[in-house]
Amino acid sequence: MNQYEVITLNEFILESQSQFPQAEGDLSHLLHHVGTAAKIVNREVNKAGLVDILGEIGTCNVQGEDQKKLDIFANDHFINSLHSCGEVCAIASEENESFILFDDDMARNGKYVFLMDPLDGSSNIDVNVSIGTIFSIYKRKTKQGEKATMEDFLQPGTEQVAAGYILYGSSTMLVYTTGQGINGFTLDPSIGEFCLSHKKIKSPEDGIIYSINEGNYLKFPAGVKQYIKYCQEKDVDTQRPYSSRYIGSLVSDVHRNLLKGGIFMYPITESAPKGKLRLLYECNPIAFIIEQAGGKATDGHKRTMEIKPSSLHQRTPFYCGSTNMVNKVEEFIRVFG
């Protein structure tokens, strides 16, 4: 690609599909609809301060968290957009207690189920900090033409056929993988298209950034506390002390560390003994992306994508980023607990 050549998301999807003669175009069609939905949500995010869309809607989601008006908009819009594409038979969202079944004839023949956190980091909406959408796509286990069941959703992350995130920040980016590496697309508002801006992203094996909510330090396991002390110690050979960078929006923190090298950590705490992040909506898709970039994602002991889920809203501790940094925190957890 020369400096004057612009490749849009849709062109890239079609070009990638052409490399696999057996591909039927259904996943490409689905990813096209994800990109379209992302542009509409981006429009609302960018004008949120100008209209009555900011703030809480007055209800709580299944996690017991206050739902923001923009959360509901993003959730509803992605559901409607993916229903209309005809490739998805059911959707599971962090905002809904159970999965949403599409029971019309077209949707029942859809090959895929779609899982999402429609607006990650929504507690930052009111203060204009970057937020995002995280999504994951699996082939259904039930037969086409039948109603989708919970079996279709409770698959390990190793079964994902695609995953990605959309970052609504100073610029809007869509990063995704279908298991052939990851690529990033930046939205050009002048033409209303996502354009290829980050080709075949590779994450550094090492980094100098650690991302964790240190306000919870006293509640962390001993191994994590020791690792944080390690990060803060001076050592010229390993470029320590590392920089502490924590935005509080998973997509934003992961995106920065993905490009620059670093580690994101969300361990268990006394108040969240099973972890806080959701395995299906957040950890599995991010783990797929991180691994495709050459990084690593675990629960501190086991590869995240090999965890067999038992419920839609299952939580897990999560460590992801540059491989050597994740290996090091795992070492501290093994030794100190």
Using the predicted structure, report yes or no on whether residue 23 has a pLDDT greater than 60: no
Using the predicted structure, report yes or no on whether residue 315 has a pLDDT greater than 80: yes
pLDDT at 196: 97
Using the predicted structure, report yes or no on whether residue 30 has a pLDDT greater than 90: yes
Q: Is residue 247 within 8 Å of residue 123, measured between CB atoms?
A: no
In tens, the pLDDT along 63-87 reads 776 667 888 999 999 999 999 999 9
CA distances from 99 to 49, 265, 304 (A): 31, 28, 22
Q: CA–CA separation, 83 vs 41, rounded Å? A: 16
| b/e map 279-306, b = 16+ CB within 10 Å | bbbbbbbbbbbbbbbbbbbbbbeeebbe
Split at pLDDT 50, 70, 90, the class of 127 is confident
Q: Is residue 246 within 8 Å of residue 212, measured between CB atoms?
A: yes
Better-scored residue on pLDDT, 61 or 311: 311
Q: CA–CA separation, 204 vs 212, rounded Å? A: 19
CA distances from 316 to 118, 265, 284, 311 (A): 19, 11, 10, 12
Known binding-site residue numbers for Mg(2+): 94, 117, 119-120, 282
In tens, the pLDDT along 166-183 reads 999 889 999 999 999 999
Split at pLDDT 50, 70, 90, the class of 125 is confident
Using the predicted structure, report yes or no on whether residue 52 has a pLDDT greater than 60: yes
Known binding-site residue numbers for substrate: 120-123, 213, 246, 276
Residue 186 identity (one-letter amino acid) = T
Q: CA–CA separation, 311 vs 293, rounded Å? A: 28
Q: CA–CA separation, 119 vs 179, rounded Å? A: 24
The packing angle between helices 222-232 and 323-336, to 10°, is 130
Please state the domain extents for the chain. Answer: 9-198, 209-336
Split at pLDDT 50, 70, 90, the class of 3 is low
Q: Which percentage of the chain shows pLDDT scores above 90?
A: 81
Known binding-site residue numbers: 94, 117, 119-123, 213, 246, 276, 282
pLDDT at 54: 66
Q: What is the pTM of this model?
A: 0.94
Q: Is residue 109 within 8 Å of residue 145, measured between CB atoms?
A: yes
Q: CA–CA separation, 221 vs 228, rounded Å? A: 11
- 9-198: CATH, from 3.30.365.10, 3.30.930.10, 3.30.540.10, 3.10.20.600: 3.30.540.10
Average pLDDT, the chain: 92
Per DSSP (E only), the strands in the chain are 56-60, 66-68, 88-93, 100-101, 112-120, 131-139, 160-168, 172-177, 182-188, 193-198, 209-211, 243-244, 263-266, 277-278, 296-298, 315-316, 318-321
In tens, the pLDDT along 133-145 reads 999 999 999 999 9
DSSP state of 22: T
Residue 115 identity (one-letter amino acid) = L
In tens, the pLDDT along 172-212 reads 999 999 999 999 999 999 999 999 999 999 999 999 999 99
Q: Is residue 53 within 8 Å of residue 63, measured between CB atoms?
A: no
Using the predicted structure, report yes or no on whether residue 59 has a pLDDT greater than 80: no
pLDDT at 128: 81
Residues 6+ apart with CB under 8 A from 197: 173, 184, 185, 186
Q: CA–CA separation, 1 vs 13, rounded Å? A: 16
The average pLDDT across 157-165 equals 98
- 4 token code pair: 């004057």
Better-scored residue on pLDDT, 113 or 106: 113
Beta bridge partners, 73, equal: none
Split at pLDDT 50, 70, 90, the class of 51 is low
In tens, the pLDDT along 257-294 reads 999 999 999 999 989 999 999 999 999 999 999 999 99
Residue entry with tokens 């924590």:
246
Split at pLDDT 50, 70, 90, the class of 50 is low
The CATH class, in words, for 209-336 is alpha beta
